[in-house]
Amino acid sequence: MLQSRWFKILRFLGLEFWLPLPLLGLAFWVGSGFVMDTILLRDHQSTNPLKVETLLAKQSPTLVLSITVQIKKHQGISRVRVKTASKAQKKLEFEFPITELSALEAAISKELRLPIDDVRKLMRASN
């Protein structure tokens, strides 16, 4: 009789629904922690390696219009301004720690990925 009175009170208050919820929450918390630990501690060896492509490799070659070189021997640097036909980049500016003309041509050729002959044709010196 005493038990049935408690059940009536619990049903009246709706506690027969709310009392098991903390136990269910605890069970899900422990279960998800166990699953997470097993997944994170598992040794992952990918069968497909990640392929990384640089942005420079995908860029289309830009058309160089002119190369202006300003050699400052007393400072030991050369400033290079490149005008391009690209809408995204109209001008490029470089500064090299080189004052020798042939080494500067090679550095510009390497940076712009152009043949040295093309760099020589487009290059002009300014004071």
Range of the domain at 81: 61-125
pLDDT at 27 over 90: yes
Considering the domain architecture, whether residues 25 and 73 belong to the same structural domain is answered as no
Mean pLDDT over 18-43 rounds to 89
Is residue 36 helix, strand or coil?
helix
In a domain, 54, yes or no: no
Mean pLDDT over 60-85 rounds to 87
In a domain, 93, yes or no: yes
Angle at 30 between CA 29 and CA 31, to 5 degrees: 90
In a domain, 49, yes or no: no
Considering the domain architecture, whether residues 28 and 73 belong to the same structural domain is answered as no
pTM of the model: 0.51
Report the chain's terminal Cα–Cα distance, integer Å: 109
In a domain, 52, yes or no: no
Considering the domain architecture, whether residues 111 and 71 belong to the same structural domain is answered as yes
Considering the domain architecture, whether residues 67 and 14 belong to the same structural domain is answered as no
Considering the domain architecture, whether residues 106 and 71 belong to the same structural domain is answered as yes
CA 65 → CA 30, 68, 86, 126, distances in Å? 67, 10, 10, 16
